[in-house]
Amino acid sequence: PGAVAAARPAGKPAATSARIRDVASTFVAMVSGGNTAGAATLFSYDGVLEDRSLYTSIVGVPAITRYLARVNHTSPFGRGVTLGHVVGGEAGGGFEWVSASSPVRTGAAALSINAEGQITRASIVYDSRDLSATSRNELAALTLEPLQ
């Protein structure tokens, strides 16, 4: 009873969807090139950007725009990062990234994507032990919105 899905040959991974590959590559290219406002527009209006290594969550496009602008030159996932391996499907996935300009050389990100192709959650992770205490403190301070 019911249809049976065709089985994948043993040892062969499922194909990564074009959607996750496109969203991940666009996001990384914009962040890497310093187009933080463009990167923020990839999020849904109530999207969440998490830096899991700093225990920080930034909610909403305006806040994500301001946050990315503040941290782009100092965050390991910032200017100059390159995209590594991408995996996932239509609703999201993950990717590895490499930084040539930070003591933190590698990291990973998980993306959740809505039906419109917008990022609803991006969770960035890296080994923050590779940062100096001063760098960690500076990044933590940049998570705060400046007073007007």
Across the beta sheet with 106-113, what order do the strands follow? 56-59, 43-51, 119-126, 106-113, 92-99, 81-89
Digit-coded pLDDT (tens) for 108-130 = 999 999 999 999 999 999 999 99
Digit-coded pLDDT (tens) for 63-82 = 999 999 999 999 999 999 99
What is the pLDDT of the chain when averaged over all its residues? 90
Model pTM score = 0.86
Which of these, 49, 50, 55, lies nearest to 128 by C-alpha position?
A: 55
| CB within 8 Å of 93: residues ≥ 6 apart | 16, 17, 20, 24, 86, 87, 110, 111
